[in-house]
Amino acid sequence: MVDKPDAIYASPLDKIIDFSFDEKVVNVFPDMIQRSVPGYGTMISTIGIMAARYAQADSHCYDLGCSLGAVTLSMRQRIQQPNCDIIAVDNSSAMIERGQQLLASDKTSSTQVQLVCADIQDVAIENASVVVLNFTLQFIPVAERLTLLQRIYQGLKPGGVLILSEKLAFEDEVQDNFHIDSHHDFKRSNGYSDLEISQKRSALENVLIPETLAEHQARLKQAGFDFVEKWFQCFNFVSMVAVK
């Protein structure tokens, strides 16, 4: 299994169809996300460190929208609590199939992992000490986001944590443009052409709906979380923790 370089949007396309996490994307996913999300590697390794701190014995840790399981593997390498397992969920069967292969070759820990192909809106969240949404909530319709966060809050044990990473929008146009332009510079510096950047942007337009930091913070509080803190930001990519 060799990770291929992402060239999905390298040639001009007659029609840009909405982005989906299909086989074509799965084949290039590690390269795509590393070159597209500033701070991705730092966020993955740091989420493992935070999971180790918040994981509780006899509980579940959830990786919702797990893709190939980068967060799952990072948590698995760090969690020390007895009888604490990981439930990793994605609704792309291509992602889950490849994720199974990657997991099978990870010999770093005996922590049990269950990979589930399902919509995260249909999965029960129970007896949870850690829940991670690493760039997944942005793909859920805005009107349905609060219900999901409320279910996560209900499923968390006291002292449990939700880690939420998202691409942000900014109300102020100058600020928004600064972050969008800086992100595009980041992508260019990683070898993406202007054509690739603009075709990918069009493909994501109706699929990835970013919101402001204030909107996320208000919704987390509305879902029940008292302590909400932004712990990472690079341009328009942010990660927050919310503790029950």
Contact positions vs ligand GEK (CB under 6 A): 21, 33, 65-67, 70-71, 89-92, 95, 119-121, 134-136, 139-140
Quote the least distance from Cβ 217 to ligand GEK, whole Å: 21
Quote the least distance from Cβ 2 to ligand GEK, whole Å: 18
In the complex with ligand GEK, which residue's Cβ is closer, 140 or 152? 140
Quote the least distance from Cβ 65 to ligand GEK, whole Å: 3
Q: Which residue is nearest to ligand GEK (CB)?
A: 65
In the complex with ligand GEK, which residue's Cβ is closer, 139 or 170? 139
Quote the least distance from Cβ 125 to ligand GEK, whole Å: 13
In the complex with ligand GEK, which residue's Cβ is closer, 63 or 244? 63
In the complex with ligand GEK, which residue's Cβ is closer, 32 or 84? 32
What sign does the CA torsion over 38, 40, 41, 46 have?
A: positive
What are the structure tokens assigned to 117, written together?
Answer: 């192909």
- Nearest Cα to Cα of residue 159 among 221, 218, 227: 227
* Residue the block writes with tokens 């997944």: 136
What are the structure tokens assigned to 68, written together?
Answer: 């190939």
Q: How far apart are CA 1 and CA 163, in angstroms?
A: 30
* Helix ranges restricted to H, 61-172: 70-78, 93-104, 145-155
Report how far Cα 193 is from the mean position of its chain's Cα atoms: 25
